[in-house]
């Protein structure tokens, strides 16, 4: 009986989520058609371009890795009731540290430096989130406010590093950017010319490991109890500062790590173009859609990777600004929250 | 070329007085809203929509006052929508706030781009300065008289909000529903109605803040033009412990630091952009540094972010 209710509930949630996503897509289509775009072209751009356009499949997996890695961090902190709005800042610091390691630790032998660059990015994100973590745990300062402030600081800091310490000396003109990582520091493709790198299976493996470590151990209950009520957690003898610190630091490290896979697996160089899009917010949406579950976030991330590329391509097909994608994401998010509300109302005691 | 110290100081103070009202308008609204238990994280989205409306209506009518009304109107509609999701539907306020932000971020530019696809626009007509011959009084004139009337309205709003929250019965009810909605309900206060009014008031002030942004911060509309300044308001009122006068202090000191580093960077004319971006971090680092000092004693409204269900 209980299993039946659970199944029905799952079905209902899925239906609502699909409806919410449909609503967002509909809004995007309306804008595109209003701007004079052809409905058929828009639909085929949205659904087919991500796989038919050259580089589309690569883009899907690049974003999937970004959203999944960052989203797991956001979801982990959310389990403990903590909002990491600063994933974007941690991502940027991670990216910067990849090049800091590359430029300043160049004396290290190749395999050591390679690993250092990846771990350095994770360490950068971890250090960046250590500030809100300490302020939260020691001073009770709200983590939302602090992570928001640190996003602005991160952008300025990254810009400073990029126009000074890690700037490519070869370019006098144009916007500052770093050097390009040479081939031996790029994450290779699994199969020759097919642009899917080893970062993809590595990320999925990390997702499964995190699923086993987080969802299949008492840690999940601990974190969720802290997230639900500090009173209850205290009563149950759970160390609240410990749970907060672990989830927050892991969130920062994951966002930083995403910076390494993005740069070493796809972009190879850092420029201010990498600062413009707020992937941190998409990571939050993925964490919510995936219901904070380490595997659920993976499916949500893959979907949003596909959808955002399709939606951008759809916007371009009708000469509409790609900013329409943000509006679509916002509408989807509201719709998903509405679906949660309707499900809870139906099954609330 | 040497620049007189008096010129530098005038520059810093006039910039401070020019920029602070944006934070004050939004800050007063967010204080009232959060005191009632509802945090609006979508404020920057609402501001972007109002700012876009301000420019478009101003271009079309040539009248900044009409633009102000339109900006407030747009903010009210989005604010009411947010209030409905957060209060009536009891959605997670942070999540729905971020959703509102995303919609505002995207939609504001989509609409602007549809109206002015080439980006070529008429000239923006700002509100006039307090007096046209602000030059008549040296020093004081450029700091105090060059501003438009909305700068002073923001200062009045600080006083009014402080009075409202401590001396009026509605203000006390606002605080009561944020502190202990159950008790307020038992005393016959309509919790969700008070919250709705507080949230709507906040949205109106975001509309005014968006309007004020035009001309005083930027000459025209672009993508993501507020660039996180709206979110900074959340940090300011947090540091100010939800107190209007302290928010005034926070806004003024943040902007003095901002204006001073800005003046310094401009005057020293760094050849490379690199060092100037380090200075750009200063106002934010300054706010951060204040959090462990002042935020330590922060008394968050007890039922902030917690929806209320009668019964």
Confidence of residue B272 (pLDDT cuts 50, 70, 90): low
CB contact under 8 A, A148 and B98: no
> Is pLDDT above 70 for B270?
no
Q: What is the DSSP letter of A274?
A: G
Nearest CA in chain A to B115: A35
pLDDT at res. A1: 45
CB contact under 8 A, B105 and A330: yes
Spatial CB neighbours of B4, under 8 Å, sequence gap ≥ 6: none
CB contact under 8 A, B275 and A148: no
Tell me which of A152, A163, A341, A345 to substitute to probe the interface with B (most B C-beta atoms closer than 10 Å).
A152
Average pLDDT over residues B155-178: 96
CB contact under 8 A, A159 and B277: yes
> Average pLDDT over chain B, rounded to whole?
90
| Residue B109 near chain A (CB below 8 Å) | yes
C-beta of residue A126 within 8 angstroms of C-beta of residue A86 = no
Average pLDDT over residues B3-28: 91
* HSE of B210, CA atoms in CB hemisphere, 13 A: 37
C-beta of residue A61 within 8 angstroms of C-beta of residue A69 = no
pTM over 0.95: no
| Residue A307 near chain B (CB below 8 Å) | no
Q: What residues of chain A lie within 8 A of the CB of B111, using their CB? A: none
Confidence of residue B140 (pLDDT cuts 50, 70, 90): confident
Compute mean pLDDT per 10 residues along chain A, 349 residues long, and list them.
70 86 92 87 92 90 97 97 95 96 94 96 98 91 91 90 79 72 92 90 97 95 93 94 97 97 92 76 91 94 94 90 93 89 71
pLDDT at res. A179: 87
pLDDT at res. A192: 82
| Residue B107 near chain A (CB below 8 Å) | yes
pLDDT at res. A349: 43
Nearest CA in chain A to B276: A160
Confidence of residue B36 (pLDDT cuts 50, 70, 90): very high
Q: How far A324 CA lies from chain B's nearest CA (Å)?
A: 5
Distance CA B106, CA B50 (A): 13
C-beta of residue B287 within 8 angstroms of C-beta of residue B254 = yes
Three-class secondary structure assignment of chain B: CCCCHHHHHHHHHHHHHHHHHHHHHHHHHHHHHHHCCCCCCCHHHHHHHHHHHHHHHHHHHCCHHHHHHHHHHHHHHHHHHHHHHHHHCCCCHHHHHHHHHHHHHHHHHHHHHHHCCCCCCCCCCCCCECCCCHHHCCCHHHHHHCCEHHHHHHHHHHHHHHHHHHHCHHHHHHHHHHHCHHHHHHCCCCHHHHHHHHHHHHHHHHHHHHHHHHHHCECCCCCCCCCCHHHHHHHHHHHCCCCHHHHHHHHHHHHHHHHHHHHHHHHHCCCCHHHHHHHHCHHHHHHHHHHHHHHHHCCCCCCCCCCCCCC
| Residue B1 near chain A (CB below 8 Å) | no
Distances from the Cα of B24 to the Cα of B30, B70, B151, B236, angstroms = 10, 20, 9, 10
Classify B306 as helix, strand or coil.
coil
Distance CA A15, CA B215 (A): 46
Q: What residues of chain B lie within 8 A of the CB of A152, using their CB? A: 228, 232, 281, 284
Q: Evaluate the CA torsion angle A159, A163, A169, A174 in order and state its sign.
A: positive
pLDDT in tens, B77-109: 999 999 999 999 988 899 999 999 999 999 999
- The fraction of chain B above a pLDDT of 90, given in percent, is 68
Residue A191, beta-bridge partner list:
A194
Q: What residues of chain B lie within 8 A of the CB of A159, using their CB? A: 273-274, 277
C-beta of residue B10 within 8 angstroms of C-beta of residue B143 = yes
Distance CA A289, CA A279 (A): 15
Distance CA B292, CA A252 (A): 21
| Residue B95 near chain A (CB below 8 Å) | yes
pLDDT in tens, B211-265: 999 999 999 999 999 988 999 999 999 888 899 999 999 999 999 999 998 888 8
Q: What residues of chain B lie within 8 A of the CB of A164, using their CB? A: 272, 274-275
Distance CA B309, CA A271 (A): 49
pLDDT at res. A2: 55
Long-range contacts of B88-91 (CB under 8 A, 24+ apart): B88/B192, B89/A337, B89/A338, B89/A341, B90/A341, B90/B307, B90/B309, B91/A337, B91/A338, B91/A340, B91/A341, B91/B307
Q: What is the DSSP letter of B221?
A: -
pLDDT at res. A296: 94
pLDDT in tens, B193-215: 999 999 999 999 999 999 999 99
pLDDT at res. B58: 97
């Amino acid at each position: 009986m209980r299993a039946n209710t659970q199944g029905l509930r799952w079905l209902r949630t899925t239906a609502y989520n699909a409806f919410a996503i449909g609503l967002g897509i509909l809004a995007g289509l309306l804008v595109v058609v209003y701007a004079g775009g052809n409905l058929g072209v828009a639909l085929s751009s949205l659904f087919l371009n991500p796989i038919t356009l050259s580089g589309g499949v690569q883009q899907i997996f690049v974003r999937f890795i970004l959203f999944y890695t960052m989203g797991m961090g956001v979801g982990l902190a959310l389990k403990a009731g903590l909002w990491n709005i600063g994933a974007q800042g941690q991502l940027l610091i991670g990216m910067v540290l990849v090049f800091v390691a590359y430029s300043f630790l160049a004396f290290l032998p190749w395999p050591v430096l390679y690993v250092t660059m990846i771990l350095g990015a994770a360490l950068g994100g971890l250090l960046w989130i250590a500030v809100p973590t300490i302020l939260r745990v020691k001073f009770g300062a709200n983590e939302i406010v602090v992570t928001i402030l640190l996003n602005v600081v991160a952008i300025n800091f990254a810009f400073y590093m990029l126009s000074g310490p890690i700037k490519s000396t070869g370019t006098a003109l144009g916007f500052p950017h770093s050097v390009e990582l040479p081939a031996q520091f790029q994450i290779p493709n699994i199969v020759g010319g097919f642009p899917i790198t080893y970062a993809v299976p590595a990320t999925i493996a990390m997702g499964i490991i995190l699923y086993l470590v987080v969802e299949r151990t008492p840690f999940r209950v601990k974190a969720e109890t802290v997230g639900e009520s500090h009173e209850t957690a205290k009563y149950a003898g759970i160390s609240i500062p410990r749970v907060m610190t672990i989830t927050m630091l892991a969130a920062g490290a994951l966002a930083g790590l995403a910076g390494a896979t993005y740069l070493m697996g796809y972009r190879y160089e850092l420029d201010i173009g990498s600062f413009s899009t707020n992937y941190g917010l998409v990571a939050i949406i993925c964490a919510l859609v995936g219901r904070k579950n380490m595997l659920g976030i993976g499916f949500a991330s893959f979907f949003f990777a596909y959808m955002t590329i399709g939606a951008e391509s759809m916007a371009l097909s009708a000469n509409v600004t790609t900013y329409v994608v943000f509006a679509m994401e916002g509408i989807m998010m509201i719709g998903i929250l509405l679906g949660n509300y309707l499900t809870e109302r139906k099954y609330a005691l | 070329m040497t620049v007189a110290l008096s010129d530098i100081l005038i520059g810093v103070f006039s910039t401070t007085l020019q920029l602070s009202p944006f934070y004050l308008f939004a800050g007063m609204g967010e204080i009232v809203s959060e005191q009632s238990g509802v945090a609006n994280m979508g404020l920057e989205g609402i501001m972007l929509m109002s700012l876009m409306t301000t420019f478009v209506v101003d271009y079309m009518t040539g009248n900044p006052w009409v633009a102000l009304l339109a900006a407030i109107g747009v903010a009210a509609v989005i604010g009411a929508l947010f209030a409905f999701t957060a209060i009536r539907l009891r959605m997670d306020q942070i999540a729905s706030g971020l959703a509102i932000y995303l919609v505002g971020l995207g939609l504001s530019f989509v609409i602007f781009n549809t109206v002015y696809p080439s980006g070529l626009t008429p000239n923006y007509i700002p509100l006039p300065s307090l007096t046209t011959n602000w030059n008549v009084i040296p020093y004081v004139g450029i700091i105090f008289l060059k501003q438009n009337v909305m700068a002073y309205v923001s200062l009045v709003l600080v006083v009014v909000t402080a009075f409202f929250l401590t001396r009026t019965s509605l203000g006390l009810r606002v605080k009561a529903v944020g502190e202990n909605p159950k008790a307020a309900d038992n005393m016959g206060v309509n919790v969700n109605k008070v919250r709705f009014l507080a949230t709507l008031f906040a949205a109106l002030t975001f509309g005014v803040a968006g309007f004020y942004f035009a001309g005083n911060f930027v000459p025209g509309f672009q993508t993501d033009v507020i660039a996180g300044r709206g979110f900074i308001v959340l940090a300011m009122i947090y540091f100010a412990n939800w107190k209007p006068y302290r928010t005034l202090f926070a806004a003024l000191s943040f902007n003095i630091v901002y204006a001073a580093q800005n003046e310094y960077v401009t005057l020293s004319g760094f050849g490379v952009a690199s060092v100037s971006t380090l200075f750009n971090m200063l106002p934010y680092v300054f706010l951060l540094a204040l959090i462990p000092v002042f935020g330590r004693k922060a008394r968050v409204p007890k039922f902030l972010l917690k929806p209320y269900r009668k019964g």
